[in-house]
């Protein structure tokens, strides 16, 4: 998937450099912004061992979830009034906004596994990343009147994409599904102590990511990304253990009933 979308982006880039036709810019921005987030989501899709979520559902979450999470976050910025935090404000507002979008779109009881929550979070986080990166690339083009600035924005944000929104929202949603499991959605779930502690991780990572701390050669971003993926893999291990335990329980039930 990454190779395919990357090849499409390179064709757009080659055509734009050769012909300087501005009609190619929207395709260039969207395909460049899409490549890395979607490729990362494919990894989460393959790790969803229950196989109870289809690929077209994932694509719908990327698209609609991305737009919905942007809308919720923009409303959150207006409501929260945390401007005094500077760019770090996004760590609070956007992580909550993306999680709410995940819960609104994928709250059905049948999706009871931690791995489901991780996948849903990754999909919505990827959609958010795609649209946000496209917006930043367009902003760079308008601000600098330079295609080079636009392409630089696409490349940098694409390179860093797996370490940011995709992983952050996967952590938040995976932690929420660890609490929710096969129960109907309830307000008390949002105030579960274990979930809140886990939610603080992507919030803190995002706030630090946006902070003015120096980051030579993007070292800060890579270190934060490694922490995020360490947490993601920890949640995945819990999710795999949950699936294994439920499979064992189902097997014991079948053996006890004599229907085998």
Q: Which residues of 10-42 are buried (b: 16+ CB within 10 A; e: fewer)?
A: eebbeebeeeeeeebbebbbbbbbbbbbbbbbe
- Which residues 6+ apart lie within 8 Å of 236 measured at CB? 47, 115, 118, 174
Report residue 62 CA to chain centroid gap.
9
Distance of CA 36 to the CA centre of its chain: 11
Quote the pLDDT of residue 255: 77
Pair 155, 186: CB distance under 8 Å: no
Q: What is the mean pLDDT of each run of 10 residues along the chain (260 residues)?
A: 86 94 96 95 96 95 97 95 94 98 91 96 98 97 95 96 97 97 93 97 98 95 98 97 90 72
In whole angstroms, give the CA distance from residue 206 to residue 203: 5
Domain ranges of the chain: 2-257
> How far, in Å, CA of 203 to CA of 182, rounded?
26
Predicted local distance difference test score (pLDDT) of residue 250: 78
Structure pTM? 0.95
Q: What integer pLDDT is reported at residue 115 of this predicted model? A: 98
pLDDT at 62: 97
């Amino acid at each position: 998937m990454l190779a395919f979308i990357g090849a499409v982006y390179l064709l757009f880039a080659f055509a734009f450099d050769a012909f300087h036709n501005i009609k190619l810019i929207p395709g260039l921005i969207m395909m460049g912004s899409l490549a890395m987030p979607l490729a990362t989501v494919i990894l989460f899709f393959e790790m969803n061992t229950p196989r109870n979520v289809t690929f077209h559902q994932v694509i719908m979450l990327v698209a609609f979830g991305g737009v919905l999470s942007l809308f919720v976050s923009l409303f959150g910025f207006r409501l929260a009034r945390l401007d005094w935090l500077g760019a770090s404000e996004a760590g609070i507002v956007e992580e909550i906004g993306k999680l709410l979008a995940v819960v609104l779109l994928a709250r059905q009881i049948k999706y009871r596994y931690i791995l489901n929550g991780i996948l849903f979070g990754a999909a919505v986080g990827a959609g958010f990343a795609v649209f946000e990166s496209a917006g930043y690339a367009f902003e760079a083009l308008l601000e600098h009147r330079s295609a080079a600035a636009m392409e630089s924005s696409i490349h940098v944000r694409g390179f860093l994409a797996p370490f940011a929104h995709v992983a952050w929202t996967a952590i938040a949603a995976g932690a929420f599904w660890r609490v929710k499991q096969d129960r109907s959605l309830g307000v008390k779930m949002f105030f579960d102590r274990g979930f809140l502690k886990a939610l603080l991780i992507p919030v803190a990572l995002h706030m630090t990511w946006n902070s003015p701390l120096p980051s030579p050669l993007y070292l800060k971003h890579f270190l934060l990304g490694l922490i995020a993926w360490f947490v993601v893999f920890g949640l995945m291990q819990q999710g795999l253990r949950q699936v294994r335990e439920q499979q064992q329980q189902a097997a014991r039930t079948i053996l006890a009933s004599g229907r085998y």
